[in-house]
Amino acid sequence: MSEEHIIETRSGSSWQLPAIIVLGLVAIGGLGFGWNASSKLDATQQAVTSEVKTVQQSVQQDMSSLKDRVAQDEKANADLQGDLKVVTDKLKITQSQLRKARKEAAQLNDAATQKISALDTSVHTELATKAGTDDVKNVDTKVTAVGADLNTTKEDLKMAKSELGTLIARNHDEVDQLRRLGERDYVEFTITGKNKPQTVGNVSIELKGVNEKKNQVNLAMVVEDKHYMKKNRALNEPIFFYTSGTRLPEEIVINKAGKNKISGYVSIPKANSQPATTSTSSGN
């Protein structure tokens, strides 16, 4: 009996020791895992806390910036409202002044119209009154005198006039008639043959060609060492040119033209009292 009890006791204690060892190892492992997890949790918590603080700081900065912008916008809005009020007030004043100016202009226009109408009536009345006085007789006398002057110069008016108002002689008799007026000197000439320059008065004239069918001539002129060509000039058509220091033009007029032959005159004004604005030029 005693031997069996000893055997059972030994066998029971043989499996308890390994079990205790295993339990101890499991406990130690659990403690290590728990400590590791606790360390990771602490690190994670710290990281999250840091991120939360960073986000909070960023949000606070954004809120502060937003508040500043809102304040600036409110100030700008207040300034704009003040400017708008000033402009509106000025515009009202301007519109009022504009209406006043238009009203005054209309009144002035009416007053001016009335004055002009009164003046017109006064002038017509005065003219009607003077129509029967001695002024009319004086006018009649002057008209009679002018008519007499026109009658004495009617022979002159029968002649053709140039574009500058000078009389154009068409033959020798009319040249003598113009010469008697005493306003100009007339130098008559005849040129026979082409390309033969001839000096007449203050100009050298050279015949270049004659178109007998169309009664036209081509001339070359030399005035104070300057050369000019005059083509297809009709008979009795004045050719004007100026000399230095004069304002009145001289004229060349061709009265007759035949085969390589022309005749006409040069008209030279006697009165060149006003100095010329340009030195030398040719007309027409």
Q: Please provide the distance, in angstroms rounded to a whole number, between the alpha carbons at the two ends of the chain.
A: 174
pLDDT at res. 142: 60
- Picking from 255, 250, 208, the residue whose alpha carbon sits closest to that of residue 235 is 255
pLDDT at res. 281: 40
| Domain shared by 93 and 167, yes or no | no
| Per-residue pLDDT reduced to its tens digit, 163-215 | 677 788 899 999 999 999 888 999 999 999 999 999 998 899 999 999 999 99
| Domain shared by 224 and 107, yes or no | no
Question: At 54, is the pLDDT very low, low, confident or very high (cuts 50, 70, 90)?
Answer: confident
| Domain shared by 111 and 163, yes or no | no
* 89 is a domain residue: yes
| Domain shared by 126 and 1, yes or no | yes
Token pair of 143 as six digits: 């008209």
pLDDT at res. 275: 42
| Domain shared by 128 and 4, yes or no | yes
Cβ atoms within 10 A of the Cβ of 11, count? 9
* 144 is a domain residue: no
| Domain shared by 228 and 265, yes or no | yes
| Per-residue pLDDT reduced to its tens digit, 102-141 | 777 677 667 667 777 777 677 667 666 655 555 555 656 6
* 281 is a domain residue: no
Residue carrying structure tokens 């017109």: 120
* 111 is a domain residue: yes
pLDDT at res. 8: 53
Cα Rg of the chain, angstroms: 63
Question: In sequence order, what DSSP letters do the residues of the chain get, joined into one string?
Answer: -HHHHHHHHHHHHHHHHHHHHHHHHHHHHHHHHHHHHHHHHHHHHHHHHHHHHHHHHHHHHHHHHHHHHHHHHHHHHHHHHHHHHHHHHHHHHHHHHHHHHHHHHHHHHHHHHHHHHHHHHHHHHHHHHHTTSHHHHHHHHHHHHHHHHHHHTHHHHTSEE-TTS-EE--SHHHHHHHHHH-SEEEEEEEEESSS--EEETTEEEEEEEEETTTTEEEEEEEETTEEEEEEEEETT--EEE--TT-SSPEEEEEEEEETTEEEEEEEEES---SPPSSS--B--
Compute the distance between CA of residue 215 and CA of residue 211 in angstroms, rounded to an integer: 6
Question: At 41, is the pLDDT very low, low, confident or very high (cuts 50, 70, 90)?
Answer: confident
pLDDT at res. 74: 84
* 282 is a domain residue: no
Question: At 93, is the pLDDT very low, low, confident or very high (cuts 50, 70, 90)?
Answer: low
pLDDT at res. 166: 79
pLDDT at res. 246: 83
pLDDT at res. 237: 92
| Domain shared by 170 and 103, yes or no | no
| Domain shared by 126 and 175, yes or no | no
AA identity, residue 85: K
What's the number of CA atoms in the CB half-sphere (13 Å) around residue 166? 26
pLDDT at res. 234: 94
| Per-residue pLDDT reduced to its tens digit, 20-32 | 888 888 888 887 8
Compute the distance between CA of residue 175 and CA of residue 189 in angstroms, rounded to an integer: 12
| Domain shared by 94 and 193, yes or no | no
Number of residues assigned to the chain: 284
What total of structural domains would you count in the chain?
Answer: 2
Q: What is the mean pLDDT of the chain?
A: 77
pLDDT at res. 153: 52
- Give the residue, 236 or 160, on which the prediction is more confident: 236
Look up the domain containing 26 and give its range.
1-132
- Give the residue, 72 or 232, on which the prediction is more confident: 232
Compute the distance between CA of residue 114 and CA of residue 127 in angstroms, rounded to an integer: 20
Question: At 97, is the pLDDT very low, low, confident or very high (cuts 50, 70, 90)?
Answer: confident
